[in-house]
């Protein structure tokens, strides 16, 4: 059997499995490039089902790049509530402005132009190309890497060679479904620990499954191990930033809020430091005449 025939059989097995078992996520029902770009930015640090819910609300409020470009950073941060990593909201607004100013309000369809947008890295750019434009490129997230490495690997470690190998496996005219299918395989079947090889549509091709190694192995990109423990979440800077922004979101639009006391386990000095960093990032602004007062950025 030729390599081309074997590859086509692999494609058929994966795509048929996806048609029967793929996750029904809201943002998979569109091929609108802006809607897909928004979904990818939301999903960067957010669990898939939660991201899909938030995406529906966000895209209803900002259905086109021009709608997002026209509002203040504070408005976007209010709409981003509950998604965390709020810098993504500011970057997405900056990307919308760039799309309006440089691309006539249309999401660009080249890797270079997409990757040049604020907050859009190589993965997100390829995801938009695959999901919106059905280009034969492979967005490589952790799940896709794990599936490909176990089944087809070992994959090259150099990033360019890895990307080229993954791109070469994308079937013609099915780039979006192929990427979605591999993501779902990695999320539901070919999981990092104790993968469900009996339910895998590509176990015939899988070097790890065929060798009987999967049940005892970690994913190909193991997490760091050690005895060092992460700090309790309320003591982290992320928690503090989130509480500051939530207090500002709860205030009436444009209202100033005074921060002159500790927040949780964080001293007034740490609160002041976090406020200064948020202001430097363009997310909040400080009252000129009354420094302890802040509000969400209005311009």
Does residue 269 have an active-site annotation?
Answer: no
Name the token pair of 203.
């176990």
Residue 284, helix vs strand vs coil: strand
Preceding peptide of 47 cis, ω within 30°: no
| Rg from Cα positions in the chain | 22
- Which residues pair with residue 266 across a beta bridge? 263
Burial group, residue 105, by CB count within 10 angstroms (0-12, 13-18, 19+): middle
**20 within 8 A of 12, measured Cβ to Cβ:** no
Name the residue among 143, 140, 162 with its Cα closest to residue 153.
Answer: 162
Q: How far is the C-alpha of 158 from the C-alpha of 90, rounded, in Å?
A: 32
Name the residue among 25, 26, 6 with its Cα closest to residue 14.
Answer: 6
Name the residue among 192, 195, 196 with its Cα closest to residue 218.
Answer: 192
Give me the torsion for CA of 74, 285, 116, 37, rounded to 10°.
-20
**From start to end of 234-275, where are the E strands?**
257-258
Residue with the two structure tokens 């998604």: 83
- Contacts for 34 with CB less than 8 Å, ≥ 6 apart: 63, 64, 65, 99, 107
Catalytic residue among 6, 40, 56, 60: 40
Q: How many residues does the chain have?
A: 299
Q: Which residues are catalytic?
A: 40
């Amino acid at each position: 059997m030729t390599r081309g025939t074997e590859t086509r059989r692999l494609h058929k097995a994966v795509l048929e499995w996806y048609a029967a078992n793929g996750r029904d996520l809201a943002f998979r029902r569109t091929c609108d490039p802006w809607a897909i770009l928004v979904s990818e930015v939301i999903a960067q640090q957010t669990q898939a089902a939660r991201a899909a819910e938030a995406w529906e609300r966000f895209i209803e409020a900002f259905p086109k790049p021009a709608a997002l470009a026209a509002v203040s950073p504070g408005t976007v941060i209010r709409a981003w509530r509950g998604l965390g990593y709020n810098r993504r909201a500011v970057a997405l607004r900056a990307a919308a402005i760039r799309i309006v100013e440089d691309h006539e309000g249309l999401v660009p369809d080249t890797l270079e132009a997409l990757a040049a947008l604020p907050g859009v890295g190589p993965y997100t750019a390829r995801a938009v190309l695959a999901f919106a434009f059905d280009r034969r490129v492979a967005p490589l997230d952790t799940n896709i890497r794990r599936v490909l490495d176990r089944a087809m690997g070992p994959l090259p470690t150099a990033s360019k060679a890895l990307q080229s190998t993954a791109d070469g496996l994308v079937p013609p005219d099915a780039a979006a479904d192929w990427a979605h299918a591999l993501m779902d395989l990695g999320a539901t079947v070919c999981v990092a620990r104790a993968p469900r090889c009996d339910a895998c549509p590509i176990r015939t091709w899988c070097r790890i499954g065929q060798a009987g190694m999967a049940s005892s192995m970690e994913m190909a990109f193991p997490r760091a191990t050690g005895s060092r423990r992460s700090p309790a979440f309320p003591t982290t800077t992320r928690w503090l930033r989130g509480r500051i922004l939530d207090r500002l979101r709860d205030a009436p639009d444009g209202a100033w809020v005074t921060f002159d006391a500790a927040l949780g386990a964080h001293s007034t000095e740490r609160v002041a430091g976090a406020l200064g960093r948020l202001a430097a990032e363009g997310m909040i602004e400080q009252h000129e005449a009354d420094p302890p007062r802040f509000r969400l950025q209005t311009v």
